[in-house]
Amino acid sequence: MLSRVANTLYWMTRYVERADNLARLIDVNRQFLLDSERLDSARLRAFWQPIILSTGDEELFHSLYEEAGGNEVIRFLTDDPRNVNSITSCIALARENARAIRDQLADELWEELNSLYLFTRSPEAGHLIASDPARYYGNIRRAAFTFHGTAAATTPRDEHWDFMELGRHLERADKTTRFLDIASYLPDVGDATRSSTLHWSSILRSCGALGAYRAGERVITARGVVKLLVFSDSVPRSVRFCIERVDVCLHRVSGTRRGGCSNDAEQEAGRLLADLSYGAADEAFAAGLHDYLDNLQNRFNAIGDAIFRSYVLMPEVIEVSPPADPRSISAAAAWQQQQQQQ
């Protein structure tokens, strides 16, 4: 497979997953606000600020908006064209990546993604955001489910599928940690015990894991949620489950036996998987939950960078090639910067 095609498949799927997770984050937190009866206007503003902090886009947000109110945060994360990580921007970027490799995709997959793109640009979408946001975010989530299901039903299980899976699970692991990290910034909202239970329940709902949690635990606690969403080997949105899939796909691409490594990406993923396999929630809280989650996000970034170096830049080819025109190097650097995500 051409490295360009691999990179495009990786980002196409990753952008769809990012849009899905943003829809989950906004919708569930809107529901959380409805359950929090003691929030005045000041506390409401303090509630939305952590949502922006968890996405890592606070610098851009504050350059565009004067305050972090509900309307401003929802607009910024949903359909603000100035935010490259908003839902509509992610879907547009996913479609653009798909268009670049249209001949490599099944017709059904392209049609589903194109339909989602047209929906986000339609007057209907704007009307739903204003009048019935729950329905809008529900449509985004269902479309993302359909996209992933169509991809699973139409994509051959070769390198095309592996790079799509890499993008999906690396993005999913990252967003799960960001959902969990919101707790580090949330203000006190009335009764501490009740607010804590509501908050951790909303995180479980965001990850579609409330039923899985209830199957094993009666009381919702911070440690129980972290144990499930970070260290579980069976919950599809847990960090450990996602990194397990990343490790499997990397070894399928290279043909290396699992347990060994042939490049930096496999080494980074293998080390992280081992730490998660033998880790525990108590260790995360002992280290400080925010610091622990922040370290996980840095390690996800390291895996993503290593994948880019190993399969897109191909440094071993560059080393034996004759010196390139500096103008070409500048163009390549600009393209790389455009492709890379924080």
pLDDT in 10s for each residue of the chain, 342 residues:
688 999 999 999 999 999 999 999 888 777 766 655 454 455 556 667 778 888 888 899 989 998 877 788 889 999 999 999 999 999 999 999 999 999 999 999 999 999 999 999 999 999 999 999 889 999 999 999 999 999 999 999 999 999 999 999 999 999 999 999 887 776 554 444 445 787 888 899 889 999 999 998 889 999 999 999 999 999 999 999 999 999 999 999 999 999 889 999 999 999 999 999 999 999 999 999 999 999 999 999 999 999 999 998 865 444 444 444 444 444 444 444 455 544
DSSP alpha helices (H): ranges in the chain? 3-35, 41-55, 58-64, 70-78, 87-100, 107-120, 123-131, 133-154, 159-181, 192-206, 210-216, 222-231, 239-254, 264-277, 281-287, 289-308, 315-320, 326-339
Residue 338, domain member (yes or no): no
Q: Any bridge partners for residue 258, and if so which?
A: 260
Residue 11, domain member (yes or no): yes
Residue 199, domain member (yes or no): yes
Least Cα distance to 94 among 122, 125, 115 occurs for: 115
Residue 299, domain member (yes or no): yes
In the structure encoding, which two tokens stand for residue 261, read together?
A: 């490594």
Phi then psi for residue 135, to 5 deg, are -70, -40
Three-state secondary-structure class, residue 168: helix
Q: Any bridge partners for residue 10, and if so which?
A: none
Instruction: Render pLDDT for 10-53 as a digit per residue (tens, 0 to 9).
Output: 999 999 999 999 999 888 777 766 655 454 455 556 667 778 88
Q: Give the pLDDT confidence score for residue 320 in this predicted structure.
A: 42
Tell me the CA end-to-end span of the chain in Å, nearest whole number. Answer: 25
Amino acid type, 210: L
In the structure encoding, which two tokens stand for residue 338, read together?
A: 């455009």
- Give the C-alpha separation, 57 to 127, whole Å: 26
Q: Give the pLDDT confidence score for residue 175 in this predicted structure.
A: 95
- Give the C-alpha separation, 286 to 268, whole Å: 24
- Give the C-alpha separation, 45 to 39, whole Å: 9
Residue 197, domain member (yes or no): yes
Q: Give the pLDDT confidence score for residue 331 in this predicted structure.
A: 47
Residue 342, domain member (yes or no): no
Residue 334, domain member (yes or no): no
Q: Which domain holds residue 210?
A: 3-313
Q: What angle do CA 280, 283, 288 make, to 5 degrees?
A: 135
Residue 331, domain member (yes or no): no
Question: How many domains does the structure of the chain reveal?
Answer: 1
Phi then psi for residue 260, to 5 deg, are -115, -175
**9 within 8 A of 167, measured Cβ to Cβ:** yes
Instruction: Render pLDDT for 231-277 as a digit per residue (tens, 0 to 9).
Output: 999 999 999 999 999 999 999 999 999 988 999 999 999 999 999 99
Q: Give the pLDDT confidence score for residue 192 in this predicted structure.
A: 42
- Give the C-alpha separation, 316 to 146, whole Å: 39
